[in-house]
Amino acid sequence: MTVSFKDMKEMLDTVFENCASEITERSTYLDIEDWDSMAHISLMVALQEKYKIEIPDAIITELTSVAKILNFLGSIEKKYE
């Protein structure tokens, strides 16, 4: 599984309702107006469905930035290569 910033940005843009212009690799939940608790859950579900993974509850609460999400997905990728 390869996850690029471009792929992540498209998913975030969909979940957070067309905010692509706001999203950078350094974006956090504090930077994106629509990234509230409900949108966070929607994002986690979207990630699980798209990449066919299960994100543990303890990790879900830690994935509060684009970088953390990309790092997490990269760590999953390394486990299964």
Give the domain range for residue 33: 5-79
What is the model's pLDDT at position 81?
44
What is the model's pLDDT at position 54?
93
What is the model's pLDDT at position 17?
81
* HSE, side-chain direction, 13 A CA sphere, residue 17: 7
CATH number at residue 42: 1.10.1200.10
What is the model's pLDDT at position 79?
55
Q: Is the pTM of this model over 0.85?
A: yes
Alpha carbons 22 and 13: distance in angstroms, whole number: 9
Reported as a single tens digit per residue, the pLDDT across 19-71 is: 777 889 999 999 888 899 999 999 999 999 998 999 999 999 999 999 999 99
Count how many domains the chain has. Answer: 1
